A and B are shown apart, each in its own frame.
Chain A
């Protein structure tokens, strides 16, 4: 188990390789479909003008994400009425939906770790080599176990996106994940896809 602390240094990222198990500590931000689309539309491709609290949110994100980690997660949160937020269940969501946006978001904010499940594609892998960054695979569905590693909810951005889609700023201690895409151009997902395709071809030939 390799301990990693946010913000992440270039050296820490370059030292990681496929199959390494890591334990993350520090601050991370949850962001999924609505958040990625909002970042891209408002601040990266600029297809819509900022409105409401967009500017404050963006300023907060610039600080939080530099060398930081984005977690693809839509949690179950208790304490919504009292704003004493507690993460009850917080496993990863499927990452590939963010493939059209992730590389650009990583470059724009200098994000060094993206955490999710199922892996991502060529554009994100290229961004990982460049920045450098890594894709970390959390255990899908292990939501209560992962919620236990969330020691504090610092706050929430864009709660109007809904609880699953909001950007939750959380502190974690020893959050477990596996490196499945590294900064050296390697992807475990590509390897497994290829190997299982070979087995499928054999089965269909029979």
Chain B
């Protein structure tokens, strides 16, 4: 088995310092929609300058490099234990190189480990064995500001008039966007999961954030709801940074899974505009990062 540690460091460096092209495009379109001279437009101009500068200087886009969340899909023959060790070594190295801020804090003692290595859950690692011969590792760097505005609803919700159907889901999502205001560093991307238990629903809502902003949901009902929610969330007028303005969300990505008869969860994971996601693909001796 190959030692991929240096490629994992590269994956982290890319993710922290270089925003994907679809996100950059969405931000620049958002800037063009804001009124000339408005604080909203000024905010997006600063954001775009910052993205460019971070890329040139190979410096973190945001100082909150967040929880490193890895989704590893490995073919038979790879050891998930060895991959875990290599990823953890890469996270410590990337922290030393200041691509990541030391973010792992012991919840009881309050002590920061200084390396971004905490217990089993930090960094956050998800493993899945897959068919074929390609190893893919997706990385999401998700900051604390946006993580804190994530929300989970249990339907029906009387306050929102939200029943156990797609219209109820719509009400819950709009409420979450309103509650978040600018606190999640708007304009954000919403990962929405319908069903599941509380835990799987959160995990799957985050997995939705790995999708490109310009893709289309294969489920036509969800595709329609994504488009509608995008338009309606922007009507709320929260705007960039919560300054007021035309763009509050850059994307809405939804999934659904089976649930218990008694439960109907709607989970919204909010990703800040610094939508830092990258993928490492390993096939034979070739490694690519996109």
A-side residues, CB < 8 A to B, are 19, 21, 34, 73-78, 88-91, 93-94, 96, 117-119, 137, 139-148, 161-165, 176, 178, 180, 188-189, 191-193, 195-197, 199-200, 203-204
Contact = CB atoms under 8 A, between A and B. Distances in A.
Contacts of A93: 64, 144-145
Contact of A164 (B60, B98, B102): B102
Given A76-B65, A140-B185, A21 B39 contact: yes
Given A178-B43, A204-B171, 6 more contacts: A93-B64, A94-B145, A139-B241, A140-B185, A196-B178, A196-B181
Interface stretch (B44-52, B194-202, B252-260): B44-52
A141, A163, A196 interface centre (most CB from chain B within 10 Å): A141
Contacts of B63: 73-76, 88-91, 143, 147, 164
Contact of B183 (A78, A96, A161): A96
A189 B102 contact: no
B64 A91 contact: yes
Interface of B: 39, 42-43, 46-47, 49-50, 53-54, 57, 59-65, 98, 100-103, 105, 110-112, 114, 143-145, 148, 160-161, 171, 174-175, 178, 181-183, 185, 232, 235-239, 241-244, 272-274
A143 B50 contact: yes
Nearest to B111: A162
User: Main secondary structure on chain A at its contact with chain B?
Assistant: mixed
Given A21-B42, A139-B241, A192-B243, A163 B101 contact: yes
A119 B98 contact: no
A42 to B, nearest CB: 15
B65 A137 contact: no
B60 A88 contact: yes
Nearest to A205: B161
**What 10 A-B pairs come out closest when comparing CB atoms?**
A162-B112, A89-B63, A145-B50, A142-B50, A140-B185, A89-B60, A144-B54, A141-B62, A143-B63, A118-B183
A139 B110 CA distance: 28
Contacts of B65: 76
B255 to A, nearest CB: 23
Given A77-B98, A88-B98, A143-B60, A137 B241 contact: yes
A164 to B, nearest CB: 6
B148 A94 contact: yes
B112 A164 contact: yes
A196 B238 contact: yes
A76 B145 CA distance: 16
A136 B76 CA distance: 54
B276 to A, nearest CB: 10
Contacts of B100: 76
A96 B180 CA distance: 12
A89 B59 contact: yes
B13 to A, nearest CB: 13
Contacts of A141: 47, 50, 61-62, 143, 185, 272-274
14 contacts: A73-B63, A76-B100, A88-B59, A118-B181, A137-B243, A139-B47, A140-B185, A141-B185, A143-B64, A144-B61, A178-B243, A192-B239, A195-B237, A204-B171
